[in-house]
């Protein structure tokens, strides 16, 4: 069975274009996250749409309010002004739980499996009695959950929750990466959507918020592409409006090909010279040249000539950091 997500349906053409930038405040903006913000801003504004800002801070262990504030300061300094109020996911946990206990309840179940127990299970399946203690996370991450708890009827309040993703191919058109087909059950299995401590999984929160914010266009990094079919499934099961258009940007990489990220110690951007920074980011995005001017005028020019074509089919762009 296959399900095709078709953004060309005529009933969708009258919908107000709404995009978003949704950073996780685990650090300050770096060049990679800046290019994502700039691309999503210029693209949605070129369509005459609205650009929302959502702070994805459900991971209370790694997120920090000071980073949220700095991200907004940097966006303002660069002229990337969002429309409407900022949404903080940490303030919306009850909303995500409401969906888990209502629309998503038939697909959700409690799970008591730890990484250690799953690593032991996979070790036995592979004929291994012992395995390195530090390999639990790595082993489990590359295996499909064996559904040990699907019929156990464990208490939802005291256990982590898993969501059963559909076992069929889902097709969608990516405006940068082309036609995509994914089977979320094969790639992700029954994914954890709420940890035992109550922390909500990224893709569950993003799916619900994209629907509730009526987001029509999602432009984000290529590293999130493997989760897209899962998001389509969650939004459908939650009876939320679907995303009309998907775009997954090539990743900004170091000269050695490593992704530019906070984990790889990417340097925070310096907004003391915002015009030069915008020019650099637009060059990375392979956009037509803009005149050095105030950020507002540079963005106006960038919006007027925005073009996804140079990015199509590419998976990486070379950043300037060593």
Q: What secondary structure letter does DSSP report for 1?
A: -
On the CB side of 138, CA atoms within 13 Å amount to 5
- Domain count for the chain: 1
CATH number at residue 283: 3.40.50.620
Identify the pLDDT of residue 143.
Answer: 80
Q: Give a three-class secondary structure readout of 17-32.
A: CEEEECCCCCCCCEHH
Q: What is the 3-state secondary structure (H, E, C) of 292-315?
A: CCCHHHHHHHHHHCCCCHHHCCCC
The pLDDT tens digits of the residues spanning 137-157 come to 544 456 889 999 999 999 999
CA distances from 99 to 95, 153, 161, 190, 207 (A): 7, 19, 13, 17, 11
Over residues 282-298, the mean pLDDT reads: 97
Closest by Cα among 260, 309, 262, 295 to 74: 295
Residue 129 located in a structural domain:
no
> Each residue of 164-209: pLDDT tens digit?
999 999 999 999 999 999 999 999 999 999 999 999 999 999 999 9
Residue 68 lies in a domain: yes
More confident position, 97 or 123: 97
Asked if the structure places residue 121 within a domain, the reply is no
pTM: 0.89
C-alpha 122/C-alpha 5 separation (Å) is 35
pLDDT of residue 126: 74
Is residue 234 one of the residues assigned to a domain?
yes
Tell me the CB-side half-sphere exposure of residue 68, using CA atoms within 13 A.
18
Sheet arrangement for strand 190-194: 108-111, 160-164, 190-194
Express each pLDDT in 9-48 by its tens digit. Answer: 434 457 999 999 999 999 999 999 999 999 999 999 999 9
| Residue range of the domain that includes 78 | 2-8+20-112+149-257+268-318
In this model, does residue 130 exceed pLDDT 80? no
Query: How far apart (Å, rounded) are the C-alpha atoms in residues 88 and 145?
Result: 31
């Amino acid at each position: 069975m296959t399900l095709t997500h078709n953004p060309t349906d005529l009933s969708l053409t009258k919908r107000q274009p709404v995009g978003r930038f949704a950073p996780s405040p685990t650090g300050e903006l770096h060049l990679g996250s800046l290019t994502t913000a700039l691309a999503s801003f210029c693209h949605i504004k070129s369509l005459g749409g609205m650009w929302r800002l959502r702070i994805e801070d459900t991971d209370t262990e790694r997120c920090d309010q000071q980073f949220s504030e700095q991200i907004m300061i940097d966006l303002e300094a660069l002229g990337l002004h969002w429309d409407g109020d900022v949404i903080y996911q940490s303030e919306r946990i009850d909303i995500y739980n409401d969906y888990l206990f209502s629309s998503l309840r038939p697909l959700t179940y409690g799970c008591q499996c730890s990484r250690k127990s799953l690593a032991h299970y996979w070790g036995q399946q592979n004929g291994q009695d012992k395995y390195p203690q530090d390999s639990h996370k790595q082993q489990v991450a590359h295996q499909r959950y064996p559904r040990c708890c699907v019929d156990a009827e464990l208490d939802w309040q005291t256990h982590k929750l898993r969501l059963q993703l559909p076992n069929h191919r889902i097709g969608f058109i990516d405006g940068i990466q082309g036609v995509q087909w994914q089977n979320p059950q094969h790639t992700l299995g029954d994914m954890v959507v709420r940890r035992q401590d109550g922390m909500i999984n990224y893709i569950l929160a993003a799916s619900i918020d994209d629907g509730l914010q009526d987001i029509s266009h999602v432009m984000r990094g290529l590293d999130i592409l493997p989760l897209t079919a899962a998001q389509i499934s969650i939004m459908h099961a939650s009876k939320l409006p679907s995303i009309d258009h998907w775009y997954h940007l090539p990743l900004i990489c170091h000269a050695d090909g490593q992704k530019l990220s906070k984990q790889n110690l990417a340097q925070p951007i310096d907004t003391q010279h915002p015009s030069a920074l915008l020019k650099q980011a637009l060059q990375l995005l392979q956009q037509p040249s803009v005149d050095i001017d105030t950020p507002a005028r540079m963005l106006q020019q960038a919006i007027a000539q925005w073009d996804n074509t140079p990015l199509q089919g590419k998976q990486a762009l070379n950043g300037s950091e060593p």
